[in-house]
Amino acid sequence: MSELSGKIAVVTGGGRGIGRASALALAQEGAAVAITGRNQTVLDAVRDEIMANGGTAFAITCDVADPAAVSTAFETIRTTLGPITILVNNAGITASIKFTDMDVETWEHIMRVNASGPFFCCKAVVPDMLAQQWGRIINIASIAALYGLPYSSAYSASKHALLGLTRSLALELVRANITANAICPGWVETDMLQEAVANIAEKTGRTAEEARASLLSQAHQQRVVTPDEVAAVIVRLTSPTNTNTNGEAITIA
């Protein structure tokens, strides 16, 4: 029997990048996986890939910034698959903006998706975890959760908030065999990286290669992290035998 057999996992932002890789990896370990996101076509493709490999999957659109949408989507998942005991909060957005140019609407939108969104999702699943006396919460933060980044004040602040939520949940829920951890990747080979490269090239006149190199210079190992690397850490954190890793900020850079 696979290690996660009988477990129900939800991966937000599950259509691409880290979310897609995580959904595939969790399904490979035997979990039934629900993936949420904004694009049903993209979600359906991941669902079909999981099912083609013999797994169980469900895809549903959900805007994590909307608490009513989260409540509705997670109740549908619960009815379809069962009680949710694994949550991967992966959905997130960013914007490269000078602080003096940051408007209130952009600030609040980034905070709502990156910080409030995981809060809404945790509120939706923690009752299931408490009832099962077992659960795993993995929040995809960023190295920006550990220190500030220029032109990323809202993004960095939102990821600091997510790390604070993670550490608080870890302490509050540990007696119910529920762990909460954050993964803090550097630049990952995702659409967000491509958008950042394009933005830098447009604003500075650099080539795409030069813009990419400037981003990689911020990474500890001067390289791009792959979604599969992050997914592998998620699988380890969700393992029923991994009971001692809790409240951690795990850097992959």
Catalytic residues: 155
Rg (CA), the chain: 18
**Amino acid symbol at 182:** A
DSSP letter assigned to residue 188: B
Q: How many C-beta atoms surround the C-beta of residue 198 within 10 A?
A: 12
List for the chain the helix, strand, coil content (%; round to 5).
55, 15, 30
> 56 in helix, strand or coil?
coil
Q: Are 177 and 184 in contact (CB under 8 A)?
A: no
Alpha helices in the chain (DSSP H): 17-28, 40-52, 67-81, 104-111, 117-132, 153-173, 191-204, 208-216, 227-238
- CA angle, 90 as apex, 133 and 73 as ends, to 5°? 65
Q: Specify the residue for token string 């302490």.
A: 171
| 175/12 Cα distance (integer angstroms) | 26
* Angstrom distance (rounded) from CA 57 to CA 176: 27
Token pair recorded at residue 110: 């980034």
Can you tell me whether residue 138 is helix, strand or coil?
Answer: strand
